[in-house]
């Protein structure tokens, strides 16, 4: 740069300052770290994230190692390699962000620090068109992969995984984090333990981990332990030789371990495994060999195990219902799959995907939910998680005379399923239909004559005005942080975004 004419050098310096000022003012936040990876500066926009990150004062953040104050940061990688990370998703306690990280160099070309830029703080809404296009392309790619896998299955007889990480729908902080952990687990050969309630997508993640691993070309074999009688489990796992027991197949049979050789064995509901079989499973995992029923010959196996359970394994170990040594053997890469109530922001996207699947299977148009219907579904506790959400949507779709689904239809389905619907916020109909012990004119809080005119308007219009004022007040109090505002108002982020967009 020193060899450039003075005018050109001045222009470059001016351009650099202008670009910096542009990003500092237009981005959602910026930070600088020095060569030692300490935070040395943050701009005003970034300061609004400090409370969510757990810091009350700027001095508790600036001057400290970036890895200590920002969870999951990749600034160290930029400093070590000198290469930028132009687009990335960062998830931490403050939320999920689209970020850019750029190395800073001195005149000699040495890395002296790095610049971090928060491009978007709500990727699930800001980048929705791009995300939808990517999801469509990813879906087409998944379909092509499944078709190739099906052809390979016909040729080899092997069973393959059916899902990828793109199949695990969601951009909430909880969904992004569980996919990040699962992707890291896919790069390892250690056992994985998926923990979570029924219907959260544990089996889907198991398929995705296999598909992203170096065993993807091998078979994916699954066993639902809770669905197999205890007396048949040992034969199901290890197989048997001819004549091993009364009624045994004359040709014998390979067990799931041998079928999964070179691939992945998914043990669903591992918490329901009988104690007597747990010791044999532990030996198979430790020694890498099995002994079929009726045989005295050990057979070597090469299997990566992914286990899942909806039960509290720690308590089972404490109560003597699960072997402690097997627990530690499986508890190498534990991943907690969050329940649907912890990722309400994903419900809208899940409903879209589930609706398309329901339409494909039924030959009907995809269901369309009103804004109120979406808000109702986002407010439910969903004890059955995604499986229950799908069931409710499918029931409402089958019962509806059109593709449009309203609140009343969903409330009926929920009640008939034994669920008392949780109302997200009072609607105009609910407000006007509430029982009263006395006419309005006879209540103690009667409206003054001078104020009557402002209330003689549609009630829905007045409720909407109050709601918008409350949302604006929360946004002002949270300095524009929508995630914090939604939490303050007690509503899902997706609901808040829908309310803002409707203005």
Answer yes or no: is pLDDT of 208 > 60.
yes
| pLDDT tens-digit readout, 110-155 | 999 999 998 876 655 555 565 556 556 655 665 665 566 555 545 5
What local confidence, expressed as pLDDT, does residue 2 receive? 52
Of the given ranges (8-22, 74-88, 473-487), which has the lowest mean pLDDT? 8-22
74 CB-side CA count, 13 A: 19
Answer yes or no: is pLDDT of 428 > 50.
no
Query: Residues 86-107: what's their mean pLDDT?
Result: 83
CATH 1.10.8.60 fits 361-422, yes or no: yes
Structure tokens at 65: 């190692």
DSSP structure class, residue 51:
H
Categorize the per-residue pLDDT at 445 as very low, low, confident or very high, splitting at 50, 70 and 90. very low
Q: Residue 478 and residue 474: Cα distance in Å, rounded?
A: 6
What local confidence, expressed as pLDDT, does residue 432 receive? 42
In CATH terms, the fold of domain 131-338 is Rossmann fold (3.40.50)
Categorize the per-residue pLDDT at 431 as very low, low, confident or very high, splitting at 50, 70 and 90. very low
Structure tokens at 470: 């409350």
Answer yes or no: is pLDDT of 62 > 80.
yes
| pLDDT tens-digit readout, 393-414 | 999 998 888 888 989 999 999 9
Categorize the per-residue pLDDT at 265 as very low, low, confident or very high, splitting at 50, 70 and 90. very high
Long-range contacts of the stretch 271-274 (C-beta < 8 A, 24+):
271/309, 271/310, 271/311, 271/312, 271/313, 271/316, 271/321, 271/322, 272/225, 272/226, 272/309, 272/311, 273/225, 273/233, 273/322, 274/230, 274/233
Categorize the per-residue pLDDT at 441 as very low, low, confident or very high, splitting at 50, 70 and 90. very low
Query: Which residue spans within 84-208 are E strands per DSSP?
Result: 85-92, 95-105, 111-120, 192-195
Answer yes or no: is pLDDT of 389 > 60.
yes
| pLDDT tens-digit readout, 342-365 | 999 899 999 988 998 888 887 888
What local confidence, expressed as pLDDT, does residue 140 receive? 64
What local confidence, expressed as pLDDT, does residue 421 receive? 86
Phi-psi domain of 366 (left: phi exceeds 0; alpha: psi -120 through 50; beta: other): beta
Query: Who contacts 161 (Cβ-Cβ below 8 Å, separation ≥6)?
Result: 149, 207, 208, 210, 211, 216, 220, 264
Q: Residue 146 and residue 140: Cα distance in Å, rounded?
A: 10
Of the given ranges (44-58, 123-137, 306-320, 336-350), which has the lowest mean pLDDT? 123-137
Q: Residue 298 and residue 303: Cα distance in Å, rounded?
A: 15
Query: Residues 29-45: what's their mean pLDDT?
Result: 91
Q: Residue 16 and residue 486: Cα distance in Å, rounded?
A: 37
Answer yes or no: is pLDDT of 6 > 60.
no
The pLDDT > 90 percentage for the chain reads 36
Of 387, 398, 405, give the one whose Cα is nearest residue 350: 387
pTM metric for this prediction = 0.57
Domain ranges of the chain: 6-121, 131-338, 361-422, 452-503
Q: Which residue has the tokens 């979570």?
A: 196
Answer yes or no: is pLDDT of 203 > 90.
yes
Average pLDDT over the chain, rounded to whole?
80
For residues 369 and 16, the model is more confident at: 369
Categorize the per-residue pLDDT at 53 as very low, low, confident or very high, splitting at 50, 70 and 90. confident
| pLDDT tens-digit readout, 459-497 | 666 667 777 788 888 887 777 777 777 777 777 666 676
Output the DSSP codes for 119-143. EES-HHHHTHHHHHHHHHHHHHHHH
Q: Residue 48 and residue 65: Cα distance in Å, rounded?
A: 19
| 84 CB neighbour count, 10 Å cutoff | 13
In CATH terms, the fold of domain 452-503 is Arc Repressor Mutant, subunit A (1.10.10)
Q: Residue 284 and residue 210: Cα distance in Å, rounded?
A: 20
Of 492, 472, 502, 503, give the one whose Cα is nearest residue 122: 492
Structure tokens at 243: 């004549």
Query: Which residue spans within 361-434 are E strands per DSSP?
Result: 368-369, 404-405
Answer yes or no: is pLDDT of 25 > 60.
yes
For the chain, the maximum distance between any two Cα atoms, rounded to a whole number of angstroms, is: 96
For residues 72 and 372, the model is more confident at: 372
Answer yes or no: is pLDDT of 443 > 50.
no
Query: Residues 256-278: what's their mean pLDDT?
Result: 93
Q: Residue 341 and residue 407: Cα distance in Å, rounded?
A: 19
| Residue 264 contacts residue 221 (beta carbons within 8 Å) | yes
What local confidence, expressed as pLDDT, does residue 481 receive? 78
Give the 3-state secondary structure of residue 376.
helix
Helix H or strand E encompassing 276: helix 275-287
| pLDDT tens-digit readout, 477-486 | 777 777 777 7
Kindly report the CATH class assigned to 6-121.
Answer: alpha beta
Answer yes or no: is pLDDT of 307 > 90.
yes
Categorize the per-residue pLDDT at 436 as very low, low, confident or very high, splitting at 50, 70 and 90. very low
| Residue 351 contacts residue 389 (beta carbons within 8 Å) | yes
């Amino acid at each position: 740069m020193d060899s450039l004419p003075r005018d050109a050098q001045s222009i470059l310096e001016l351009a650099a300052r202008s670009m910096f000022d542009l990003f500092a003012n237009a981005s959602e936040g910026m930070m600088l770290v020095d060569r030692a990876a300490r935070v040395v500066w943050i701009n005003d926009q970034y300061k609004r994230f400090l409370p969510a990150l757990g810091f009350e004062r700027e001095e508790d953040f600036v001057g400290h190692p970036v890895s200590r104050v920002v969870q999951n940061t990749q600034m160290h990688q930029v400093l070590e390699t000198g290469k930028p990370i132009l687009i990335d998703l960062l998830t931490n306690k403050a939320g999920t962000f689209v970020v850019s990280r750029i190395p800073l160099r001195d005149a000699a070309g040495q890395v002296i620090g790095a610049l971090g830029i928060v491009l978007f703080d709500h990727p699930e809404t800001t980048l929705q068109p791009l995300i939808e296009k990517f999801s469509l392309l990813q879906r087409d790619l998944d379909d092509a992969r499944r078709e190739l896998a099906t052809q390979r299955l016909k040729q080899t007889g092997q069973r393959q995984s059916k899902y990828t990480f793109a199949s695990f729908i969601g951009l909430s902080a909880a969904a992004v984090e569980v996919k990040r952990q699962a992707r890291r687990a896919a790069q390892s050969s250690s056992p994985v333990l998926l923990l979570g309630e029924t219907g959260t997508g544990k089996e889907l993640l198991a398929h995705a981990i296999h598909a992203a691993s170096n065993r993807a070309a091998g078979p994916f074999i699954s066993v639902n332990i809770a669905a197999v009688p205890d007396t048949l489990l040992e034969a199901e796992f290890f197989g048997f030789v001819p004549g091993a027991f009364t009624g045994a197949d004359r040709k014998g049979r390979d067990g799931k371990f041998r079928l999964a050789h070179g691939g992945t064995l998914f043990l669903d509901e591992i918490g329901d495994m009988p104690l007597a079989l747990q010791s044999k499973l532990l030996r198979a995992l430790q020694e890498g060999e099995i002994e079929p029923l009726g045989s005295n010959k050990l057979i070597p196996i090469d299997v990566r195990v992914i286990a899942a359970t909806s039960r509290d394994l720690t308590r089972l170990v404490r109560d003597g219902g699960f072997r402690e040594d097997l627990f530690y053997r499986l508890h190498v890469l534990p991943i907690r799959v969050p329940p649907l109530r912890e990722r309400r922001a994903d419900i809208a996207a899940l409903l879209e995907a589930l609706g398309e699947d329901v339409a494909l299977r039924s030959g009907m148009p995809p269901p369309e939910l009103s804004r109120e219907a979406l808000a109702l579904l986002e407010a439910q506790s969903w004890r059955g998680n995604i499986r229950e959400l799908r069931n409710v949507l499918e029931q409402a779709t089958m019962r509806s005379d059109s593709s449009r689904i309203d609140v009343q239809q969903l409330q009926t389905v929920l009640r008939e399923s034994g669920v008392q619907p949780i109302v997200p916020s009072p609607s105009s109909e609910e407000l006007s239909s509430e029982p009263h012990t006395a006419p309005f004119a006879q209540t103690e809080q009667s409206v003054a004559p001078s104020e009557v005119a402002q209330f003689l308007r549609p009630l829905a219009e007045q409720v909407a005005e109050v709601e918008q004022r409350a949302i604006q007040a929360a946004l002002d109090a949270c300095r524009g942080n929508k995630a914090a505002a939604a939490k303050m108002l007690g509503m899902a982020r997706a609901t808040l975004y829908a309310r803002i967009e409707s203005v």
